[in-house]
Amino acid sequence: MNKKTIVVVGTSRGIGHAIVHQLAQQSDFTILALSRDVEKMKQSFDGISNVLCQHFDLSADVANQAKQLFEGISSIDVIINNAGLLVNKPFTELSHNDIASCYQVNVIGVMETVQAAVSKMNPVGSHIVNISSMGGFQGAMKFAGLSAYSTSKAALCSFTELFAEEYKDSTIKMNCLCLGAAQTEMLEEAFPGYIAPVSAEKMAEFIVDFALKGNQWMNGKILPVSLTTP
């Protein structure tokens, strides 16, 4: 009775990669792992029979890609929208493309993925978890250089509240986790030398547990998950 189909977006490295490895330990889960770098995913998840790796790019034509990916799936129990794009640049140096790319990958791509998935969500109960950042959490400490990234993550928080309101009478629940620093390639590229207090694996542990159970208690909630950022 534990059988679940779980879609994880952004799984070739970092937190998403750790999420897939942890979910895959439950042999009756089927995990659809989505990222651009399929070769990397195939190498990392080689020999794990309940992980299916597929190409997915949030930067363009997301509606069509998602429709095709979900076509063959009868029912989705959990979606973890984990992929993210971080641009770290002084505000006046941000190009139109820098800003548009952050919004495309972090907001528009997520919304179009969810649009394609809505009719496929398990009617018995399902959970969509959006991965945002403390930078997008209202009132939390902000960092110079992150105006494109953090405003897009704030929009993802807002989308969570709006979707939850629109679907409050359905069995689909959506929540948003605003992560503090976790040690990943993204963090290393954006803030070289910074050592986070939490590993990708440790952060993934919380996300997996929340994604599997959190919909029993919460809907439309924006939750800070941080040891660092006040």
Ligand X SMILES: NC(=O)c1ccc[n+]([C@@H]2O[C@H](COP(=O)([O-])OP(=O)(O)OC[C@H]3O[C@@H](n4cnc5c(N)ncnc54)[C@H](OP(=O)(O)O)[C@@H]3O)[C@@H](O)[C@H]2O)c1
Distance between first and last Cα of the chain: 41
Are 174 and 164 contacting, i.e. CB atoms less than 8 angstroms apart?
yes
Q: From the list 5, 7, 8, 10, which residue makes contact with ligand X (rule: CB under 6 A)? A: 10
Cβ at position 216, least distance to ligand X in Å:
23
Number of H helices, E strands in the chain: 8, 7
Contacts to ligand X from residues 12-31, by CB under 6 A: 12-16
CB atoms within 10 A of CB 63: 14
Distances in Å between the alpha carbon of 133 and those of 23, 37, 150, 227? 22, 23, 7, 13
Contacts to ligand X from residues 118-147, by CB under 6 A: 131, 133
Q: How far is residue 51's CA from residue 80's CA, in Å, rounded to a whole number? A: 15
The number of residues that bind ligand X (CB under 6 A) is 31
Cβ at position 117, least distance to ligand X in Å:
15
Which region holds residue 14: left if phi is over 0, alpha if psi is between -120 and 50, else beta? Answer: left
15 burial type by CB count under 10 A (0-12 exposed, 13-18 middle, 19+ buried): buried
Strands 78-81 and 4-9: parallel
CB atoms within 10 A of CB 193: 5
Q: Which is nearer to ligand X, 58 or 79 (CB)?
A: 58
Contacts to ligand X from residues 89-108, by CB under 6 A: 105
Q: How far is residue 228's CA from residue 211's CA, in Å, rounded to a whole number? A: 22
Contacts to ligand X from residues 47-86, by CB under 6 A: 56-59, 82-86
Q: From the list 35, 113, 150, 215, which residue makes contact with ligand X (rule: CB under 6 A)? A: 35
- The stretch near ligand X (CB under 6 A) out of 8-16, 89-97, 120-128, 213-221 is 8-16
Contacts to ligand X from residues 172-191, by CB under 6 A: 179, 181-182, 184-187
Cβ at position 171, least distance to ligand X in Å:
26
Q: Which is nearer to ligand X, 84 or 214 (CB)?
A: 84
Cβ at position 144, least distance to ligand X in Å:
16
Cβ at position 202, least distance to ligand X in Å:
11
Interacting residues toward ligand X by CB under 6 A: 10-16, 35-37, 56-59, 82-86, 105, 131, 133, 179, 181-182, 184-187, 196, 200
